[in-house]
Amino acid sequence: MADAQSKKAKLLAQRKKLDAEIKAIEAKERAQKRKDDTRRKIILGGLAMKAAEADPNIMGWLKSLTSGESVSAKDRELLGLWFEEHAAEPAAIESGGRGGAADASVAQERRSSGEPQAHGHDPS
């Protein structure tokens, strides 16, 4: 009977150790999943911002997304500042530009040449 008790105690100790290892692995998996999700959001956000700078339609779509109640007032304020800084340039609007690649390259040339921006923002 003593052998059975010691064997049981040994197995319970092994189970406890294995349970702790499993919990540690699961915690690492959850942490990695959160990191991956955050990285995806950053990448997609950067792509959306770049596309919005080049296309007023995308900019408008993003503005409409941020006007909903799912975005906090504090976040709307921060995003509103970005929208103001990256508003479509008057030359692109006056020429009937749709914010496509040509308009984006003109805007980039202006920034590179030091030409004043319509909204006074110098990204350099």
Q: What does the pLDDT look like over 27-78, one tens digit per residue?
A: 999 999 999 999 999 999 999 999 999 999 999 999 999 988 889 999 999 9
Rounded to two decimals, the pTM is: 0.57
In a domain, 38, yes or no: yes
Q: What is the pLDDT of residue 112?
A: 55
Element (H, E) at 20: helix 2-54
In a domain, 122, yes or no: no
In a domain, 120, yes or no: no
Q: What is the pLDDT of residue 17?
A: 98
C-alpha–C-alpha distance, residues 85 and 107, integer Å: 13
Contact residues for 93 (Cβ-Cβ < 8 A; gap 6+): 56
C-alpha–C-alpha distance, residues 40 and 46, integer Å: 10
Phi, psi for residue 27 in degrees, rounded to 5: -65, -40
C-alpha–C-alpha distance, residues 107 and 124, integer Å: 13
Phi, psi for residue 2 in degrees, rounded to 5: -65, -35
In a domain, 124, yes or no: no
More confident residue, 108 or 2: 2
In a domain, 109, yes or no: yes
Q: Name the residue range of residue 29's domain.
A: 2-113
More confident residue, 111 or 79: 79
In a domain, 119, yes or no: no
Q: What is the pLDDT of residue 113?
A: 54
In a domain, 32, yes or no: yes
Q: How many domains does the chain have?
A: 1
In a domain, 37, yes or no: yes
Residue whose pair of structure tokens reads 């340039």 in the numeric block: 89
Q: Which amino acid is at 35?
A: K
